[in-house]
A and B are shown apart, each in its own frame.
Chain A
């Protein structure tokens, strides 16, 4: 356990010691700030049914940067170690493959959470300045952040899988970027394609991150997306683990 914590700690520290992290943080906060400003403007301009929280988490300015950050966060997790050769000193130390994979995954996940923390402030400010709640109900805000976390778990796992497949960070970024986008748009199809049959539409809506966020940010906590994200995350993580092992022990 101690070794796992050491590994995890090191992963986190290496994020915050790298320039990439701060660049990502900067542009991400820029994007979320812009998003928030845009929502406020929208609500001010005409009567709407959405709360600030709903507006914030369900528009283009939210989803676009959201999908983009995953490759940037995860591309270096495994690729860099393979490329630099430090994987050799890592794996000749008495640590298990599982400890390493989990530490790298959780390091990325925690960094992702840190990325999102400042946005909580927007809603706090909103409340203190306007005196009214940003969210329709407490469940709405926590639902939205809960969904951020769940989707994040899944997409970060995909990013780690991409990273473990290659020595090249750019290739990892491309693989994970394309995969995340594809998965994301799989869900979007169900909203736009009007001429596909209903059964397929229902199936695709299970994958729809947009729809999941839509319901959760209304305060409707549905167990199906929770199960979906937890199980797919576990699946992708186990693929990552097995591929890591294969690269290590392949004969």
Chain B
């Protein structure tokens, strides 16, 4: 269990993490979602015992990350963003070195190396110098390093940053698999990733946690998520203005496409003005070729919560 209580981190006058509290339970994959500068990496660095907190506590598996930092570090696999590596070492050499630092040796080290290289598809580059590897491979070396000593907890800072779609899929599947046996906290600003891999999402903005729930719940609760799509021919009418008068309609955007007007309506909470729209269309004799509900996405939630003037 990863437990964070009233964690605050200040850098001089700037508050990077502002009194946040959360828990990641056993076997959960929790996604830390937030814009750049929100405080995700800082929180993770504190959890990894790299930065000290200004106040509050954080513990991993019951060990406080500051006062019992060695015990805590033994149980974590941490992958920092920008995956810093020793570029003059070979992959094998580096992983062996890291394994030894984590307390592995002899047969255990050899087995761990083999399994981790297999898992992250590094076997083909195992003898290459890290400096000559592409971003994708370096990322995988960082991931392999985090997995080496089979830690219970994985803290991954933007594990798919800079990867191509194939690699992203591989890493995502890997994380999903690992989630069955590990407790994972990962950070990202790729929303689809969170929807696909995480059982729970923590949305963080300007150092504060704005929301914490499953992706589905968040989307459902978000009042402005989703909307209505209307494709109609409104002849002389100003469709957008008319639609806006309907109860429950917050905002209408209009696009023209080969003679048809495409309207996207954003709604008030729990509103469903489809019937009203239909009646309006009939009364004004519009031709309608599509009237459908747009499913809300996590992106809507994200944008809503982290909007600049929020």
A88/B101 contact (C-beta < 8 A), A93-B73, A96-B70, A251-B54 known: no
Q: Is the CB of B84 within 8 A of A89?
A: yes
Q: Is the CB of B50 within 8 A of A17?
A: no
A60 at the interface (CB under 8 A from B): no
* Per-residue interface assignment for chain A, residues 233 to 251, with 1 indicating a CB less than 8 Å from any chain B CB and 0 otherwise: 0000000000000000111
Q: Contacts of B84 on A, CB cut-off 8 Å?
A: 84-86, 88-89
C-alpha spacing A2/B109, complex, angstroms: 14
Q: Contacts of A96 on B, CB cut-off 8 Å?
A: 70
C-alpha spacing A185/B97, complex, angstroms: 42
CB nearest neighbor in A for B49: A92
Q: Is the CB of B48 within 8 A of A92?
A: yes
Which of B18-26, B74-82, B206-214 lines the interface with chain A?
B74-82
Q: Contacts of B220 on A, CB cut-off 8 Å?
A: none
Q: Is the CB of B49 within 8 A of A6?
A: no
A127 at the interface (CB under 8 A from B): no
A91/B49 contact (C-beta < 8 A), A85-B82, A86-B86 known: yes
Q: Contacts of A144 on B, CB cut-off 8 Å?
A: none
Chain A contacts with B in 4-28, Cβ cutoff 8 A = 6-7, 10, 14, 17-18
Q: Is the CB of A2 within 8 A of B78?
A: no
B102 at the interface (CB under 8 A from A): yes
CB nearest neighbor in B for A95: B101
A92/B50 contact (C-beta < 8 A), A14-B88, A85-B84 known: yes
Chain B contacts with A in 43-75, Cβ cutoff 8 A = 45, 48-50, 52-54, 70, 73-74
B103 at the interface (CB under 8 A from A): yes
CB nearest neighbor in A for B44: A92
A131 at the interface (CB under 8 A from B): no
C-alpha spacing A6/B101, complex, angstroms: 7
Q: Contacts of B52 on A, CB cut-off 8 Å?
A: 249-251
A2/B100 contact (C-beta < 8 A), A94-B73, A251-B52 known: yes
Interface size class of B (residues with CB under 8 A): 20 to 34
C-alpha spacing A79/B115, complex, angstroms: 34
Q: Contacts of B70 on A, CB cut-off 8 Å?
A: 94, 96
Chain B contacts with A in 244-294, Cβ cutoff 8 A = none
C-alpha spacing A90/B76, complex, angstroms: 13
Q: Contacts of A14 on B, CB cut-off 8 Å?
A: 86, 88
Q: Is the CB of A92 within 8 A of B101?
A: no
A93/B88 contact (C-beta < 8 A), A2-B105, A85-B80, A88-B50 known: no
Q: Is the CB of A89 within 8 A of B80?
A: yes
Q: Contacts of A7 on B, CB cut-off 8 Å?
A: 101
C-alpha spacing A80/B43, complex, angstroms: 25
Distance in Å from the Cβ of B205 to the closest Cβ of chain A? 24
Distance in Å from the Cβ of B188 to the closest Cβ of chain A? 19
CB nearest neighbor in A for B77: A92
C-alpha spacing A251/B76, complex, angstroms: 22
Q: Is the CB of A92 within 8 A of B54?
A: no
B85 at the interface (CB under 8 A from A): yes
C-alpha spacing A14/B85, complex, angstroms: 13
C-alpha spacing A10/B52, complex, angstroms: 27
Interface size class of A (residues with CB under 8 A): 20 to 34
Residue from B50, B74, B100, B145 in contact with A91 in the complex, judged by beta carbons closer than 8 Å: B50
CB nearest neighbor in B for A19: B88
Residue from A84, A85, A89, A95 in contact with B145 in the complex, judged by beta carbons closer than 8 Å: A89
Residue from A6, A18, A89 in contact with B100 in the complex, judged by beta carbons closer than 8 Å: A6
C-alpha spacing A158/B100, complex, angstroms: 29
Residue from B50, B80, B89, B101 in contact with A94 in the complex, judged by beta carbons closer than 8 Å: B101
Q: Contacts of B74 on A, CB cut-off 8 Å?
A: 94
CB nearest neighbor in A for B78: A92
Q: Is the CB of B88 within 8 A of A17?
A: yes
* Per-residue interface assignment for chain B, residues 166 to 182, with 1 indicating a CB less than 8 Å from any chain A CB and 0 otherwise: 00000000000000000
CB nearest neighbor in B for A89: B84
CB nearest neighbor in B for A80: B86
Q: Is the CB of A18 within 8 A of B88?
A: yes
* Per-residue interface assignment for chain A, residues 86 to 125, with 1 indicating a CB less than 8 Å from any chain B CB and 0 otherwise: 1011111111100000000000000000000000000000
C-alpha spacing A18/B76, complex, angstroms: 31
C-alpha spacing A84/B78, complex, angstroms: 17
Distance in Å from the Cβ of B149 to the closest Cβ of chain A? 9
23 A-B residue contacts at CB 8 Å?
A3-B100, A6-B100, A6-B101, A14-B86, A17-B89, A18-B88, A86-B85, A86-B86, A88-B50, A89-B78, A89-B98, A91-B49, A91-B50, A92-B48, A92-B50, A92-B73, A92-B76, A92-B80, A93-B101, A94-B70, A96-B70, A249-B52, A251-B53
| Besides A3-B103, A249-B52, A251-B53, 17 other A-B contacts (C-beta < 8 A) | A3-B101, A6-B100, A7-B101, A10-B97, A14-B88, A17-B88, A17-B89, A85-B82, A88-B84, A89-B78, A92-B49, A92-B76, A93-B73, A93-B98, A94-B70, A94-B102, A251-B54
The 10 A-B pairs of least Cβ separation, nearest first, read: A85-B84, A6-B100, A94-B73, A93-B101, A92-B48, A94-B74, A86-B84, A92-B78, A88-B80, A249-B52
